[in-house]
Structures are given as structure tokens and as C-alpha cells.
Amino acid sequence: MRVVRIADGSSEGRPASLVIRAPRDPAREMTSTNSRPEVGEDLRVFCGIDWAERHHDIALIGQDGGLIAKRRINDGPDGFDELTAMLTAAGDSVEDSIPVAIETPRGLLVAALRATARPVFAINPMAVARYRERHSFARAKSDHADAMTLANILRTDSHAHRKMPADTDLAQAIAVLARAAQDAIWRRTRATLELRSLLREYYPGFLTAFARAGGSGVTNLAGSDARHVLALAPSPAAGTRISVARIAAALRRGGRKRGAHIRAAAIAQALHAPQLRQPPLIEQAMSRQALALLTTLNAECDNAEQLGQASIEAFRSHPDHTIITSFPGLGELTGARILGELGDDRARFTDARAVKAYAGSAPVTRASGRNTVIMRRQVKNNRLAAVGFVWAFATMARTGPPKDHYDQRRAHGDRHAAALRHLFNRMIGQLHHCLQTRRSYDPVKAFPERAPQPQPSPA
């Protein structure tokens, strides 16, 4: 070891810091990062890319961990051409492509790399941070060092990471539309809850007017009726003055074709009823805020409807449409979400257990000494887990083997969410089998223990 003095880049008057460095490796110093070394057929090369918004840092290393080349490229066609030239000079070919590791599965750079049919590994940034600590105890960080770390991950542990699937363009398009529709639904829910919270502060009569039957107190503000009436009467003062005819006309504009006058009379009665009021100026300010939230809610309702319809139309043209929709509880919209998350690369998952772990339906066992704990999986594909809950809930509502399986899990002691997750765990495995074998859903084979047994004929 040798001790050297380096300047810390600070202003004058501050002492220089002491850094202990390892001895230099003459073999590595002979390798120039600007010139291309001769790469033999027996030398494996790995590429790491530390991506950013405006530029990307590239690092190529060999099988021994030595740096072959490094460069910073821009986020454009010229930069990608430089990257391709670097890979070609390092021995890249169609038969033996150099694998690439990057910290994101999205972006134009990733799309261009996947178009070349080379193996691309999207490494979780948290995993990269743990790998970085193996080489730097001082927590030093730089873009070039991160690129080197990514390349070293492939060099040492490529078998422990999953490369990005080779999905078709249609499957990727369905994933984009299905995720956008799901995001719109989540934003619609958030806007609905914000509007409801505001109405509770100054306009509880409106929530009462559109409360669902049964006394549950749940109000569907995202419905067309509530949104059109709120646009006419955004405050209690306006609600007391609105007529039944105007409410009925608003309901018809919202799409109601039957019973508009009867429903309008019930709404008018609730809006005209006495209620606690805010001071006039505060009530007027809150009504303007409610109209602003209503504009956001209208936009998200339209987005959810349009994006959902677009994902359904794309899903109908996919070859897996018939198999996926043959399962009970899976409609076209939920089926599009399932396909968007699973993809159509049948070599992506080794078996059904991998699919269940990816979906978060398979439990996790933590054993240490005499203690063994089985708990639900926290690290998962949240989108697939969300649509899986909807799928299991829709399947459980119908009489049949899935409903019996759910009842059995409840009788076994599972709570509602755990029983639904167990049902989803079983059915996602069945879906994986049907997609691999190109067969539709068969309830007799899916639940053979619940199939009706043939009765012996009388002698």
C-alpha cells in the first residue's frame, strides 16, 4: 500500500486530504480507454451503461474485470452510433452479442438496444447500490464507476439476473395502453376522494343526494349523474335554487335514458333539505375549488374510458386473446392488463412458480434457526398483483369451483384478502400452463378435486 496526497478541490487554506490507494496494476494501465484493444474469441466482453437524461456513460470490461473502453455519449442517434461502434470494435456480432446492463427498462436507448436483439439486463438500482458497496467502503460514486459496476454485475452474477423479455411489438403496445388505462383509473380514484373530502366540509347534502342505497354512505362521484349535477349546483346555495327540470336535463345529458324525472325529484329533495353551511365567502371559495377538482375528475374519467377501449381493441388482435378470456373472471380489460404484464415471450419464466413469485401471489418463507415465518410477498409486480386481486374477486363472486376454493380457504382460517390471494395464486399458475400449451381453460382439469364424480350404474 502507498499513501499519496491529493488536493480536495477546495479553496486555499484547507489541508489536503490523505487517501490510501491500492498498488497500481501495470496490466490495466497499459490498456488505453481511448484505443481499441484486440479482443480474441476466447475473451468475453460485458457492457454497462449508466444512463441519464442528456448523456450516458459506457464501460466495456473483459472477463478478467479489466477496462476495455469507456466513453460518454449523448442521448441521440449520434450517441447510439458511437455505442454501436464501441461494441463492434470490442468483438460484437450477431452470433455472439455483447450483453448490456442498464438501470431502467424504459427509454429510447433501451428500445434501440432491444431492437438489435442483444441481451439487455435491467438491473434494479437498489441492487446496483449494494454491488457498489462491495468496491467502495467510502461510498464514493461517479457515473463511470456506476457503468463499471453494471458491467461487473453481468461478469460475475449474470445468472442471477433476468434479461428483458423478447416480447412482440403488439404485446408491448398492449402493455403501454393497459398501464396508461390503469394509471388513469388510479388518478380518477384519487380525484374522486379529493372531491369527496372537500364536499364533506361544506356540501354534505350533495353526498347524501348521491349516496348509494342501503345506508352505507358510499357516494359514486365518478358517475355521470353526480358530475353533471355538481356542475350546475356546486354550492348549497345553488342546490337550494335548482329545479327538478334542470336536474332531469342534466341527467339526460349524462346518459340516463329511463327514470330521469323520478331520480331528479329525489336529488332535488336531498339538495333542498336544510344543512349546516359555511360563511358565504368561504362557501363560494370552496365551490370554485370543487369545480376545479370536477374538471380534473372529468378529464380522468374520459382518459380511463378512452385508454381502456384502446387497450381492449389492441388486445382483441393478439393471439392469446382467446386463451386469456376463456378463464372465469377475466374480461377484455383485465385480460389486457394481464397480458401487458406477463408479455408473450414464453421463455421469460422458467415455470409457474416464477410467474407466481413475479405476481406476488406466492408466499415468502423466512426461516432462521427454530423460527419459521410464512408471509405474503412484498416485492412484486404491483400492477399484476392489483389486477390479480380484481380477477380473483370477480371469479369468487360466481358459483363454481373457484368459489368453492375460496370458501375452503376461508374455512381454513384465511382472511378475505389471503383467500383471494390464494385463489389468484392457483389461477395464475393455470393461466401460465394454458399459455404454454396453447389450450383454453378447462374447469374439470383446473379443479379436478371438485369435479363431479360419475355415479356407478346400478347392477
- Between CA 69 and CA 278 the distance in angstroms is 69
Q: Which of the pair, 438 or 13, is modelled with greater confidence? A: 438
In this prediction, residues 34-51 reach a mean pLDDT of 66
What confidence tens digit (pLDDT) does each residue in 185-239 have? 999 999 999 999 999 999 999 999 998 765 556 778 999 999 999 999 999 999 9
pLDDT of residue 139: 76
pTM of this structure = 0.81
Q: How confident is the model at residue 13 (pLDDT cuts 50, 70, 90)?
A: very low
pLDDT of residue 458: 55
Q: How confident is the model at residue 28 (pLDDT cuts 50, 70, 90)?
A: very low
Angle CA(261)–CA(266)–CA(270) in degrees, nearest 5?
140
Q: Which CATH number applies to 27-160?
A: 3.30.420.40
Q: How confident is the model at residue 117 (pLDDT cuts 50, 70, 90)?
A: confident
pLDDT of residue 138: 73
Cβ-based burial of 66 (10 A; exposed 0-12, middle 13-18, buried ≥19): middle
Question: Of 130, 117, 138, 118, which Cα lies nearest the Cα of 157?
Answer: 130
Q: How confident is the model at residue 80 (pLDDT cuts 50, 70, 90)?
A: very high
Domain ranges, ordered by start, for the chain? 27-160, 172-316, 321-444
In the beta sheet, which residues pair with residue 34?
none
Range in 39-53, 137-151, 295-309 with the lowest mean pLDDT: 39-53
Q: Which of the pair, 295 or 216, is modelled with greater confidence? A: 295
Does position 246 have pLDDT exceeding 80, yes or no? yes
pLDDT of residue 162: 87
Q: How confident is the model at residue 457 (pLDDT cuts 50, 70, 90)?
A: low
- Between CA 380 and CA 377 the distance in angstroms is 7
pLDDT of residue 49: 95
pLDDT of residue 98: 93
DSSP H helices in 40-168: 77-89, 108-115, 125-132, 143-157
Average pLDDT, the chain: 86
φ and ψ at 46, to 5 degrees?
A: -130, 145
- Between CA 375 and CA 429 the distance in angstroms is 19
Q: How confident is the model at residue 392 (pLDDT cuts 50, 70, 90)?
A: very high
Q: Residues 6 or more apart from 122 whose CB is under 8 A from it?
A: 102, 103, 104, 105, 110, 164
In this prediction, residues 281-304 reach a mean pLDDT of 96
Does position 145 have pLDDT exceeding 80, yes or no? yes
